[in-house]
Chains A and B, each alone.
Chain A
């Protein structure tokens, strides 16, 4: 194990506290604050993984997770970016996608076979002969993918979610972001700042260079961080990666829980008025031969490894950079004890002279206009070749680290997700926003600024702008004010002054001036690739895409970066395009310009999540939400077996006999009780209520008699039945109606929609949840009812199809209807939900002597089927209209003024002989009932079985089917095709409906 610095003021590890975890079965020690990868690096691990296609050795490259180089399996979870995953006590860490180990991978020979695998080779191979493909496919599947997920893996940890609302959200906790947060919060608005690292500080955090006289940058970072964390107006979400941005400034991300947090990870969804994006830059990878060999790393990686984690990346480094930060790092790392072979700088000129002086003082050779062209060494860097930019002169240096970076490039993902259009800026060589979405501001390094003061000033300016976006004007009603989010008392505070915070642009002007006085965006380097052929120069590490592959794709006609990305897969791996993101369009533009067709330089599309996010985290707390009726508990204690139906849980059976013999027979012979509370229940009232009913119901609703129940249906414009239920006139211009369970949610909108141009005056109330329904059915039903009410419920006083309102025990207001869905004497009681339990108990008690029992939805299904009463969705489908169901009598042809929905279609359908028709059937030779959903066939499909059962009541198999209308004649033989029947068929015969109690005497007496 190498020695680590344990005194540096910049350290983010605590060397006194050890963290022990398992790596490949052996225990491995790191310090608290280490990521898994830094701990492994400190333990001498250099080869972290093998690449996807060529199994090339891969090492630590950026420390920010821009590629899959350090992806490993951690605690059973594959593809964990160990370079930014904190090491924890007892973690299980394993390598993935290797045969053997990452160090000695038996698949490494594939690297030599790259000539067999040009861009898109898999499209052009392996399909000949056809029999080879299934074999090849198996191999491809095995080779593809990185980590392994076990099918019975259980993800450990607690996952949570929060949905905070704020005025300003600042993305990025670097100097610009922190200044933006402070400036906004000082204006009195609420601020949330998100930072993906576990600390605030950004790229000041690890740097020892001077911020101001005597004050290093890291001190400045800590000073700002303290201020931010202490500010009462700022909520700091550290270790929180922003992953998505959506319309109206909705920002999503996830936070990793630390010690003392109640969550492992939590989903964060922030609705903000204004957004400040200050996410800085990443280094644009330098492309050269073997540019991803372990030992090659980016500037900040080597620098942070030393400064943040106390590790020198190696003994001797060669620097190939295009930016002053590279020079600064070389100096600092030299001072920390690293030997520097030389610094090759892409730039011919323009370096900071002070840095050059410092390099000279240390005798570090600087070669301007030079670039590294090749890394040597099979598993780890041993030597580097550098060359002049034109490739004419070369030199070799021995070294075990190559610090390489072509320059910087802004992290534009958050901006494009928010809706910004990017354009290429040739001064900075950056993609910068052409336009920004409303109330979105950017600040910091991503704007091209390099000067520390300017970076901070840009943050302050953005913070002020964002605050003004979300302040309501309290003095002059000025434009800049956004609607209604100011604190209540600010009105009084500023009413005396001429200006309020929202309009006070003095601060804004000052911030603008301050920024203007500081150095502006600096010139960026344009080089993408060193002068190489590109066979082993990788533009995308995750997918092993080389420069050569890109050229091949372009030759094949893929001339847009987006298409090249698809064809070569560059940027589609777990690194989310971090490595090829901006290099690809820059390279393509350059390469295509050579052929004389300059195209606009546009980056490929970036998609959320910007950082790969666990499904467990997105799911958050994920509670099951179902509606339960007031009778839920009672039915459960009575042995009800429940099913989820739509948004509800309903009792479907009351015993293990799913044919429900006992339940059915009890309704037929004694009396049963069903919870029908899921029915849609509505009140519609007002002067035009009747007109609205006439519009949506097919029957003439003006004919509803007081004290009577009217059964009717609603159709859509195609005449297809969408709902059925009963309507009652409870008073003048006041109606109560029911809908099927499934339609309850849409009914109000349906009625409103179909009356939207009429300007009618009516109101609707959805009573579905506030009313419960009990269905009491069976020959003894009247006797039970009589016991709990003084009301005359005799057949004369309360006949079939009648409606009555009465009180039970002087307290429970009951709306009672005499219906006959199951074909027996039956009552439906609609009562306020809060009384349901009482009424249920009373009925149960009263019914004891008459053999009352629960029955569930399946028993009801059979009972009503025997009576040939339909259930929509069961005896109908999307294309079934009212006439097909034999319900034509529900359609009043005369009320044309009502413009009833579906009437036009029904009139047309009436002449159509080729529609379906609902029929009843019995099985031939006393055969068993066919399975629901079986087909009716001859030489083609003629219909299907809707519901069929072996009826206990009738002692034979009966059912209903939808068949082509020419087959609807009584006596027609039905050839039934069941699944898995092969050549076997069973036969039924069309019979009159209903099967049970055809004259209805049971239900009516």
Chain B
């Protein structure tokens, strides 16, 4: 059945001195962009430059929650497309991305939250995305482990139920896209650090790496949490991005217990069960910018306190490991996808915070289109950088974001 195994993303090759396009960072968005550049636009002479190994960043650290029930009409279509792409990509890549469309249950703990949820639900329904407001009892029917009594810090009033969402196997997406892209000829260079982008007459001419210079006329920085600092360092463009460490953790594996992704804003906590049976849980971010990816004692405790309240049976379950990654947050919790503007041939894609997994396929697809045609496709236009200069935030979050003192 299985013969000799071949390297999934090609044999290690020498770095060439020139490529049609260079992509900095080996995360989800880079890999997806490269895949679609090759597949849809015939641009196969592409190098992905990755400092560590693919999946080192957020791509390998996220909790892989996917959904398309965002708040605004700019976001919903993009995320809907991404959500619809999981089965398509599974087939195209011939790699099991293990999409578990178990649905997301977003708990609401006050009348005000119910109203906020209704707006989000209306937006989804208006765009043909399934999402419903349900009461606490109905939520309990979906998730029998929920505590819907009054004697917890934030009693549950109801929930937003979004059946088409769920979880995907994040590593599979990284490896599947890498394999898919490399089949078309894309080269993935791991253990290679990009150090500078050279321009001439307002045009990109080459990329410097610790393994040599690469001539190219098109470069994309899409390096997750590292993007903003790279963009600043290499291109002198300052972005309104705060990079914060965000943590997640898993428990020991259990037989099926949670059949939906459950999340709560008030408790700063979400939980879902992976196919391996672990309860993956996270949500809280450091409140001060840092690149440490260090975990903290208070956070794992916070998470235990929160879960103890709204999913009390989990008190008898053990945490197995906690880890940290980076979240690059913009003031309006929406990404920045822009380029070919300040400098010809320079593109960037960042600000995905803690929600850049679910979007990677669609974002990559349209970034590829952007890079191939030189002009932003309509769906990406609202995500330009200019919106901040114009003081027109996107409204993806209802409340004011307070993760930095200077937002």
Contacts and interface: CB of A to CB of B under 8 A. Distances in A.
Interface string A58-94: 0000000000000000001111000000000000000
Contacts of B53: 560, 562-563
Interface in A545-592: 552, 555-558, 560, 562-563, 566-567, 569, 573-574, 576
A909 B318 contact: no
B122 A934 contact: yes
Among B73, B314, B402, B406, the most chain A Cβ lie within 10 Å of the Cβ of B314
- Most chain B Cβ neighbours within 10 Å, of A558, A609, A753: A609
B295 interface: yes
A608 B300 contact: yes
Nearest to A76: B316
B319 A612 contact: yes
A557 B254 contact: no
Interface residues on B, range: 35 or more
A594 interface: no
A626 B344 CA distance: 55
Contact of B297 (A252, A619, A879): A252
B275 interface: yes
Interface string A608-646: 110011111111101010100000000000000001110
A155 B395 contact: no
Contacts of B304: 615-620, 622
A130 interface: yes
A627 B97 CA distance: 46
B180 interface: no
A154 B154 CA distance: 20
B275 A144 contact: yes
A979 B125 contact: yes
Interface in A342-379: none
Interface stretch (A133-141, A182-190, A886-894): A133-141
B323 A127 contact: no
A620 B298 CA distance: 12
Contact of B321 (A130, A607, A940): A607
A246 B286 CA distance: 15
Given A151-B145, A246-B297, A644-B110, A609 B322 contact: yes
A147 B55 contact: no
Nearest to B396: A878
Interface residues of A, number: 111
* Chain B at the A interface: SS class: loop
B400 A722 contact: yes
A858 B1 CA distance: 67
Residue with the greatest number of chain B CB neighbours at <10 A, chosen from A149, A560, A612, A716: A149
A607 B323 contact: yes
A795 interface: no
Interface string A927-970: 00001111101001100100000000000000000000000000
Nearest to B152: A624
A878 B400 CA distance: 5
A877 B91 contact: no
Given A149-B254, A908-B390, A555 B7 contact: yes
B32 interface: no
Nearest to A721: B400
Contacts of B312: 154
Interface in B134-152: 143-145, 152
B122 A979 contact: yes
Contact of A246 (B96, B296, B320): B296
Contact of B319 (A615, A879, A912): A615
B159 to A, nearest CB: 13
A749 interface: yes
Contact of B313 (A116, A149, A915, A980): A149
B63 to A, nearest CB: 15
Contacts of B405: 749-750, 753
Nearest to B257: A149
Interface string A687-729: 0000000000000000000000000000011111010000000
B315 A619 contact: yes
Interface string B151-195: 011110000000000000101100110000000000000000000
Interface in B10-29: 10
B252 interface: yes
A123 B275 CA distance: 12
B5 A563 contact: no
B111 A615 contact: no
Nearest to B143: A151
A146 interface: yes
A555 B5 contact: yes
Contact of B126 (A140, A142, A719, A977): A977
A873 interface: yes
Contacts of A605: 323
A941 B126 CA distance: 8
A142 B251 contact: no
A986 interface: no
Interface stretch (B37-45, B113-121, B208-216, B346-354): B113-121
A718 B391 contact: yes
Contacts of A874: 112
Contacts of B143: 151
Nearest to A947: B115
B198 interface: no
A934 B120 CA distance: 9
A145 B125 contact: no
Nearest to B281: A615
A644 B109 contact: yes
Contacts of A622: 304-305, 308-309
A122 B96 contact: yes
B9 to A, nearest CB: 6
A753 B405 CA distance: 7
B96 A127 contact: yes
A567 B120 CA distance: 37
A978 interface: yes
A598 to B, nearest CB: 14
Contacts of A295: none
A879 B394 contact: yes
Contact of B2 (A118, A932, A934): A118
Contact of B1 (A115, A133, A620, A915): A115
A552 B5 contact: yes
Interface in B30-79: 53, 55, 60, 72-73
A205 interface: no
A718 B308 CA distance: 39
Contacts of A244: 295, 297, 300
A716 B405 CA distance: 11
Nearest to A942: B73
B8 A557 contact: yes
Contacts of A925: none
B265 interface: no
A117 to B, nearest CB: 10
A610 to B, nearest CB: 9
B229 interface: no
Given A643-B111, A878-B332, A613 B153 contact: no
A267 B393 CA distance: 43
Contact of B332 (A140, A267, A879): A879
Interface string B377-407: 0000000000000111111011111100111
Given A145-B276, A146-B252, A148-B255, A873 B399 contact: yes
B68 to A, nearest CB: 15
A905 interface: yes
A144 B318 contact: no
A269 interface: yes
A879 to B, nearest CB: 4
A7 interface: no
Given A141-B255, A935-B122, 4 more contacts: A613-B318, A615-B314, A643-B110, A933-B119
By Cβ-Cβ distance, the 9 closest A-B pairs, closest first, are: A145-B277, A933-B118, A618-B304, A557-B7, A612-B318, A616-B315, A933-B119, A151-B145, A932-B115
10 contacts: A121-B2, A141-B256, A145-B254, A151-B145, A244-B300, A618-B303, A645-B110, A873-B112, A935-B122, A941-B72
